[in-house]
Amino acid sequence: MTAGSIGSRFITAVSLLAVIGAVAGLYTVVLKGKRPPVHVAQRAVSSVAETAYLSGADVASAARLEQAFQRMGYRLDAVSEGLADVPPLFLAQVPGDLDDLPDIDTKKTVFLRVMLPLVLAVDENIANDRARLLGLAARQASHLPVAADDQAWLEALARDYEVEDGNLKTLVARVDVVPPSLALAQSAEESGWGTSKLVRRSQNLFGHTVELAGDEPGMRNFGTLYEAVGAYVHNLNTHKAYDELRRARAAVRARGQVPDGQALVTALHGYSERGDAYVSAIRALMRRNDLVRFDHARLGRALPNRMASAS
C-alpha cells in the first residue's frame, strides 16, 4: 500500500499509443485532485479497432496475446541486448486469464511485455519535460531572459509537481524518470505479476489507496494501465514519503550517471508497511528476474512493418 493515491475512469478495452501526433491533455491521471503535467506533447491514442495489429480476442486471452507478441517479434532478450526497440503497444488492462497460463516463465514474460511500453512512454513524457526544464534553468543561471510562455510553463510545472515556492533545484529533483526495472519490480510485487483481483477489477498495479469517508483508506480505481503507471511515477516524484528516493536519484545524476533500479530501491522504505522487508523483496525480485537489463530499453517510434501482415 503506497502513500498518496490517484485515478480516473477511461476505457475498458485495449488502447494503442501511436506516435503519429501530439495531443496535450492525454495524461489523465490525478494525484490528490491534481493533474500531472499536460503542457508538453503527448503520444496520441488510437483504438485497437483502428489497427490491424491486435484483435479483441488477442488482448482478452493471455495465451493468444503471447502468440501475437511472438508473431510481432517482440522478444525481451532482443530488447535487453539493444537489438530491438519496444513496440508502442499499450494494453488498457491485463488479460483476465493471465494466471491460467501453465508456465510461470511465460506468465512473467507476458506481463513484462505488457508493462514495459507503458513505463517507457510515461518516462519519455517526463524526460521531455525535464529537458525543457534543464534548458530554462541554465538560462536563468546565466542571467539570460526567459520568454513569458516559458515562464508560464515553469509555473505550471511547479504546481503540477507540488513545488509551492517554485524552487528550481527542487523541481529538477522531482521532474525525472523512474528506472523501468524499479517500476517493473514493484508492479510485479504489488500485483502478483498482473494476476491479482485488484488489477483485474481496477487496473491498480501498485497498491494505490484513496481516502474514503471518515479518512478510511480504500483502493483506487484506474481506467487503464497507463493511468496507473503514470500515477505511480508521479507519486514517487511528489509525495514526501519518497524524498529519500529523489535525493538518491539526484546524487546519481550529479555524478553524471543514469540512475538504475538497484541504485534507488534502498530508498523505498516508505512505500510499504513492511519497510526494510519490502525493500529486500523488491531487490530480490529485480535481481532474480534480471530486470535492470531493461533500464536502457528504447520505445519504438513506430510499429514493426511485419506486424501489419499478422493475422
If 0-12 CB within 10 Å is exposed, 13-18 middle and 19+ buried, where does residue 277 land? Answer: exposed
Alpha helices in the chain (DSSP H): 56-60, 62-72, 76-80, 104-141, 148-160, 168-174, 180-191, 197-202, 225-238, 243-254, 261-264, 276-288
Q: How many residues in total does the chain contain?
A: 311
Locate 294 and state its grid cell. Answer: 531493461
Cα(45)–Cα(121) distance, integer angstroms = 12
Name the pTM for this structure. Answer: 0.82
Cα(137)–Cα(54) distance, integer angstroms = 43
Residue that wins the pLDDT comparison between 42 and 163: 163
Which residues 6+ apart lie within 8 Å of 68 measured at CB?
Answer: 53, 54, 58, 310
As a whole number, the mean pLDDT across the chain is 81
Q: What is the signed CA dihedral for 163, 295, 122, 311, rounded to 10 degrees? A: 180
Mean pLDDT throughout 156-177?
A: 95
From the list 230, 163, 201, the residue with the least C-alpha distance to 6 is 230
pLDDT in tens, 215-243: 556 888 999 999 999 999 999 999 999 99
Lowest-confidence pick of 35-39, 80-84, 242-246: 35-39
pLDDT band of 113, cuts 50, 70, 90: very high
Residue that wins the pLDDT comparison between 240 and 11: 240
Contact of 32 with 161, CB cutoff 8 Å:
no
> What is the structure's pLDDT at 10?
26
Q: What percent of the chain has pLDDT over 70?
A: 78
CA geometry: angle at 129 spanning 161 and 81, to 5°? Answer: 115
204, amino acid identity: N
Name the strand (E) or helix (H) holding 22.
strand 15-22
